[in-house]
Chains A and B, each alone.
Chain A
Amino acid sequence: MAEVTHFFRTKCSKVERVDDQKLKVIGYQMDSHLSLFGEMEVSIPDLEIIHLRVETGGMSYNLPKLLGAKIGAGIRKIIASCVESRLKEEQVDFFIEDMCDSVILLFTKKVLSKAPRSKDLKEERAFFMELVKKNTRLLNSCAALSTESPLLEGIDLRQG
């Protein structure tokens, strides 16, 4: 590790289910330059942003243009177009992206918790083959789920 750190950043996002209809997300970032705090509420099952507030530099922003946006494919573009440039300079857009990512990862965690824990490639392959057949967007979504990976080698989506 460095003898002298010039810049330090720590960032945290946490999402939890409030009830059957709502998720709550809290984001926090602190670095050598500034601090950000954010809170967001998301409806279930639509994953629609129903409340959003970000604090930076002692000011609070409600970002009304993002209310109603659905967390899912295309959300990064929506955030980029709805966050004003002054806040982008403070990387508020990336901060909100991370809060949205956490919502997706809450559900990813649920799905992946069913993955086989053994090192048996056969079992693992059966699980991921099935997963990708059900959600074809996952194919080639990362190196592990590429067509060259033993997990999906020879996959035929027509059979799904």
Chain B
Amino acid sequence: MENFIRNKTVWIWKDRDMVIVHGDLDDDIYALEIEIEIDEDRNIISDIKAKWIREENSQCFRAIPPLREIIGSGIEPGSIEAIYRRLSRSSCRHFANLIKEGLFSYLISKRYGYLKEKRGGGTKVEVSERDGRFERSIARRDEAGEFASIIDLHIHTYPRSKCSVMSVEEAIKEAKRIGLNGICLTEHQVMWKREEVEELIERYGLLVLRGVEITTDQGDMLVFGMELEAEEIMKIERLRDIVLKGGGFMIACHPFRGFLTFGLKELGITVESALKRPIIQNADAVEVLNSRVTDDENRFALEVAKKADRLITGGSDAHDIGSVGRYATAFKDPIRTEEDLIQALKSGRYNPIVFK
């Protein structure tokens, strides 16, 4: 069949005082790359590099030198359009298009605070990529407002999680029955294979996603967005490194389970001391609604997460049918795939909710 496909990708990061915008374009005719250096303080383009990966004719190389005309240009919506028009003719409209994509991405990342410094604590943390306008709070299902997808992010099934008394089929059927948009299978230490969940999706018509609950020396951590299994208890710093390299996302699950059995005063735990714990410091988000801990422990997790400036999620941690969907996470953006999930988790546009 006659068709045409174009893919573009943009990455933005900081290198000292500069912002680097890297873009790739690949379609049925052309393939090219750009790298724009931006002086963030002055909001101007300070350098640009470009190369052809696949050009169309022997003279396409002539498109590269004129790109330097834009060095010194300011970066506002109007000036980006002017840059696009100018380069479309003097250089090549495909480079112009990719530069526009990169500069528009830069504008969004700047406008919504994605370029702010990452959190410290000795560990690089990828997730300040989030919507600063989004209020982090817990809501009841009927008060939650409009959300595109409500997903139980924490479910264990038997036999992959020996502690569960629920099969995956039972979990899915129950999730459908109560109206969840999807569930995430988070077995202990092992992951479902992608083809297995695709088969489940096809068979039951419900979104089934994958994560894993990894036991670390500091507590349990849910990991999403990457393939990961562990045979033994991991050092939390090692897990953090692996997840950062893999582009995943970490949620400290039930971080204070059992801690408050004797009351806060007896243990001497304060919000200030708790937020320094490695399980919180190394997490991108904290699970503040979990059906297997006390209300006090959930409340305390919420207080700590807010003080530590971590994102917050909810998940049932269901090991039996009756617990499925007790708590969930309501996302503003639609979740249809694992890739959607990881992007949504990093965006911060969600709230934990009491689902039933």
Contact = CB atoms under 8 A, between A and B. Distances in A.
A128 B114 CA distance: 45
Interface string A130-157: 0000000000111111100111000000
A146 B62 CA distance: 10
B273 interface: no
A87 interface: no
Nearest to B106: A7
A149 B6 contact: no
Which size bracket describes the interface of A in this complex?
A: 35 or more
Contacts of B128: 6
A107 to B, nearest CB: 9
B4 A58 contact: no
Contact of A9 (B10, B118, B131): B10
Given A6-B13, A55-B334, A16 B2 contact: yes
A17 B114 contact: no
A9 B101 contact: yes
B232 interface: no
A32 B346 contact: yes
A106 B10 contact: no
Contact of A33 (B66, B114, B148): B114
A147 to B, nearest CB: 12
Given A32-B343, A141-B89, A91 B104 contact: yes
Interface residues of B, number: 63
A3 B15 CA distance: 10
Interface in B44-69: 56-60, 62-63, 66
Contact of A151 (B2, B57, B89, B346): B57
A94 B104 contact: yes
A130 B334 CA distance: 49
B89 A140 contact: yes
A146 B92 CA distance: 11
A106 to B, nearest CB: 4
A2 interface: yes
B91 A142 contact: yes
Interface string B1-41: 11111111111111100001010000111000000000000
B259 interface: no
A104 B152 CA distance: 43
A86 B308 CA distance: 33
Contacts of A109: 4, 28-29
Nearest to A91: B104
A146 to B, nearest CB: 7
Contact of A31 (B4, B88, B108): B108
B124 interface: yes
Given A4-B118, A58-B333, A144-B62, A33 B12 contact: no
B63 A35 contact: no
Contacts of B89: 140-142
A159 interface: no
Given A6-B13, A94-B100, A119 B334 contact: no
A73 interface: no
Given A9-B101, A35-B333, A94-B104, A106 B2 contact: yes
Contacts of B105: 7, 9, 31
Contact of B343 (A4, A30, A146): A30
A91 B108 contact: yes
B347 interface: yes
Interface in A1-52: 1-17, 30-35
Contact of B59 (A7, A34, A144): A144
Given A31-B108, A151-B59, 17 more contacts: A4-B126, A5-B12, A5-B13, A5-B126, A6-B109, A6-B114, A7-B108, A10-B10, A13-B6, A14-B3, A14-B6, A33-B108, A34-B347, A35-B334, A142-B88, A143-B66, A144-B59
7 contacts: A6-B115, A10-B8, A32-B346, A33-B108, A102-B6, A112-B56, A144-B92
Please give me the 3 A-B residue pairs with the lowest Cβ-Cβ distance, nearest first. A2-B13, A58-B148, A7-B109
Interface of A: 1-17, 30-35, 55, 57-58, 91, 94, 98, 101-102, 105-106, 108-110, 112, 115, 119, 121, 124, 128, 140-146, 149-151
